[in-house]
Amino acid sequence: MNNKDFHGFLEGRKQSVASEIEALSAEGRTDEANILKAKFNVYDIAKSVFDTTVRQSPDTVATAFPALFSRITGSWSAALKTAKEHGDDRRVLVEEAKLSAVAEITNRFAALLT
């Protein structure tokens, strides 16, 4: 896998979500913009995790990155479930935004491996 491709994807999505945030803010949809910031941060987290994996275990990135990334994001599904159970609408939106980024990232990583 070309590390630069994955980096490029993460950076591209970051920029794209940043533009969405800007557009929502400009439109006066401040709350939705703030919720989307949680999604933006996930790409940053993925970048840091990926860089660390490449540095620490360059030969096993294919397995090490998903393992480390899922260790961080693993609890987010449970957080979404809890938020739904408690009718915490804001938290539901935040967790859903984060999980949509996780799905994009893991799918792209898997696609780049094949």
Query: Angle formed by the axes of helices 61-73 and 89-113, to 10°?
Result: 180
34 contacts other proteins (rule: CB under 8 A):
no
96 contacts other proteins (rule: CB under 8 A):
yes
- CA–CA separation, 71 and 84 (whole Å): 22
20 contacts other proteins (rule: CB under 8 A):
no
Contact 101, 42 (CB under 8 A): yes
93 contacts other proteins (rule: CB under 8 A):
yes
Least distance CB 34 / other proteins (angstroms)? 11
Q: Residue from 15, 16, 19, 30 that binds other proteins (CB under 8 A)?
A: 30
Q: Residue from 5, 11, 22, 27 that binds other proteins (CB under 8 A)?
A: 27
